[in-house]
Each structure stands twice: as C-alpha cells, then as structure tokens.
Chains A and B, each alone.
Chain A
Amino acid sequence: MKKNFYDKDEEKFKSVIDILKSLPRAQAPQNFEHRLMTSIHNKNNSLKEEITENYTLFKFLKPALTVTVIAVILFFIGDFQTTEISNPLLVEPKLREELSSTSEIGKQQKKYFVPSENQMASKQKTEDTEEAEIPDNYRVVLNENDVLSREKINLPFEDKSFDLDSKLRNSKVSQPTNENRALAGSNTRTFDFDGFFTRVPPERRVIDSLRHLQDSLLKAQIEYLQKIRK
C-alpha cells in the first residue's frame, strides 16, 4: 500500500523529476586522476613520515629523560641547600665533667676556663695550693700533661683607665664588626662562634652622655680631694 502511495507521488512530481533529470551532468576535470594520484602519493609519504616519527626511540624516551634531568638538577640544588649549619644557640652545652675527662683532654690541646665563671677551678685553687689570687687579666689553662698553668688574657682594655673616644674611634676603623656585639649566652668566650653581630653606628648622644659622666666623675673627685685637704 505504502509503495503505491509513493509511486503515486512520483507521478504527482513528474514535472519536477523530469526537470531534475534534464539537468546537464557535471564532469570531472581532465587532470583529475593525475591530481588524485599525486595527492595519494604525497599523502602516503606524509603518513609514512608520521608513522616513523611516532615510533622513534627518542620520542618514547623523551618524557623519561626530562624527568631524569629535572630529578638530577633538583638533587644537586637540594643537596646544596641542605648543608647542615649547626646553630650554636640550639646546641646543648657540654657538662664540665665531660669537658675535663681524659678523652676530651686527649682530643683538645687546651681548654680555657674563665676564672670568674669556673667554679671547679676556684675550688681546686683554694684546696690544693692556697696560691695567691689570680689577677683579673689571667686565666687558668689545663695543659695536655694535666698541669694547670696561668695564661694572660688579652682583654680589650689594657689599663683600668682609658680614653673612650679614641678606643671607639680605633675600634670603628679596625674592627667595625666588634662594635656593640650581641653575644648569646654567658659562656661565649669558650667557643669560636663569632656570629649574630648587629652593626649599629655609634650614636653621638651616647658618646656625649659618657663624656659628661666622665667629666662629672672627675669633678666630683677633685672636689672631694679639695675638701679633704681643707
């Protein structure tokens, strides 16, 4: 039934169908086949290139090589950065007993004990020899042969009285880093750490105040002496 319905339609549209059938037929250009074969040849070549490109060893190894190179670079950079710098403030201080033991003495040539801070040394001093008091600018040194000896300490100031201005000026020229150093802990003379300096320029106000203080002390001393004489 359906087929008949559409066959009827073909009759209905006969004029349209005739017009369409009467249309001239388009033809392929003369060089169509030649162009086709050329392009097929070119396509084949490009395909072969693509295939060979896909299966080169370098292409497979490229990501692995990249990762390896990055890993090596990171390893070296990381190694440089992780060089251990022991923070002296965080290092647990050694006990005196440990320091005075034979093993430590064997390792170390000399051990320095600051008299004011070394209680052990002061005890030994009173008990054993009843020696005369050690001057402030001397310290006790424990030698390799277990003999205690005195050694002069190079104090920053030779005499009790000194010229503060000249001292400050000299220290500024020669050792600018030694000015106003902030030392960590009380036992700072026993180890070589020389860090955590704060470079603060000497203030004129501080110098002036010290100078005034010195002058006033001198004045007071003179007045006192004058009073005594009278």
Chain B
Amino acid sequence: MLFSLSDENLIKEFQDNNTIEAYEILVKRYKDPLINFVYRFVGDKDVCVDIVQDTMIKFYLNKDSYKSFAKFSTWIYTIAGNLAKNELKRRKRRTIYSLNQHNEDEKSIQVEDKSFFTPDVTADSSIKSEIIQRALLKVKTVYREVVILRDIEGFSYEEIADITNLSIGTVKSRINRGRTQLQKLLKNIYRE
C-alpha cells in the first residue's frame, strides 16, 4: 500500500507516524540515484557509499526539517550535494598538506568494479566511462555539480536551482561552462 504513495506522501507518513516502512521505501527509491550522483561528483566508490549513507541518516534524524512545499527529491539531493562538497573540501585540504602528492594523470586506468555498475557494462565501455569520469572530475566543482544534475540525473533547471540554491540563470550559465570544459577534455573521445 505504501509503495504506491508519492515521495512527498511517504515522507509525510514518516514525519507524522514515524513509519519506518515509509522511510525504507524512500531509501530504496533514492539509494541508487544518489550513489550515482555522488560517485560522479566525488569519483570514489567507497566514499560515495559513505556519503549516501550519511545522507540517509541525516534524512532519518532530521525528517522534520523537510517542508512539504519543496520536492522530496530536491531536498535529499541538496543534503547529498552538501555532504559531497564537504568531502571534496576536506580532500583539497588534505592534498595541500600531503607530502606525497601524486599526479592524477600518471595513474593507470583501472577497469571498474562490475558489481558497482549495471551488468551491461563491457570492459571496453568501462575504460571509456573511466576516462569520461576522469574528465568530469577535472571540471570545476561548481560546474560539475550542475552538469551531473542536468545531464546525468536529468533534473530540470528549476529543480537544479532548488537543489543548489542558485538562480536559474546562474544554473544555466554554469551548466554551459561546465559542458564547454568537458567538451574540451573529451574531444578525443567523441571523435571516435
């Protein structure tokens, strides 16, 4: 019965009656999209799982901070995005103070863990997707976030504006700049 409810109704049920089942359904619905979003944003499988887990814990503990006028998807993506940004800031600090700084370009391309992705991914495409992922990680954080939300997660400009707390104009310009950067980085790939 709860499965048929919308996200907003489920969280209302969870808020009003503390129904764990409603919470579990929402977790099931959003765990994969959030993992995908955070992985593309941060670029680390283990860290992205931890971030999404923290997101879900925050959602559980602060369920009352959700207001019904907002979409649940934008609210949960905002939490995940903020946690991912915090992680990136922490990493930046760590690399500044690290004595052993490795150049990411020098790393060899590793074939992705197949269990982490959908089963239809072949070895060739996994290498390709790894290159795309690396290119994506080279795009500035502010542009990367909106590009992922728009082109990978498929959110509308309005929804991205809600998630990032930016104006629609800023979102559009950032998406444009992010795409331009990515185009330059991926020019060899899409020639193929």
Which A residues fall within an 8 A CB radius of B? 2, 6, 9, 13, 15-17, 19-21, 23-29, 32-33, 35-36, 39-40, 43, 47
Contact = CB atoms under 8 A, between A and B. Distances in A.
A20 B132 CA distance: 8
Nearest to A20: B151
Contact of A23 (B40, B116, B179, B190): B40
Interface in B142-189: 147-148, 151-152, 157, 169, 172, 175-176, 179-180, 182-183, 186, 189
Contact of A27 (B118, B133, B180): B118
Interface residues of B, number: 47
Nearest to B189: A19
Given A26-B35, A36-B57, A21 B152 contact: yes
Contacts of B186: 16, 19
B109 to A, nearest CB: 15
A26 B40 CA distance: 9
Contacts of B27: 33, 36
A28 B52 contact: yes
Contacts of B116: 26-27, 29
Nearest to A42: B57
Given A9-B179, A24-B118, 6 more contacts: A16-B190, A25-B32, A27-B35, A28-B31, A33-B24, A43-B61
Contacts of B48: 26
B90 to A, nearest CB: 20
Contact of B53 (A25, A27, A32, A47): A32
A104 B49 CA distance: 98
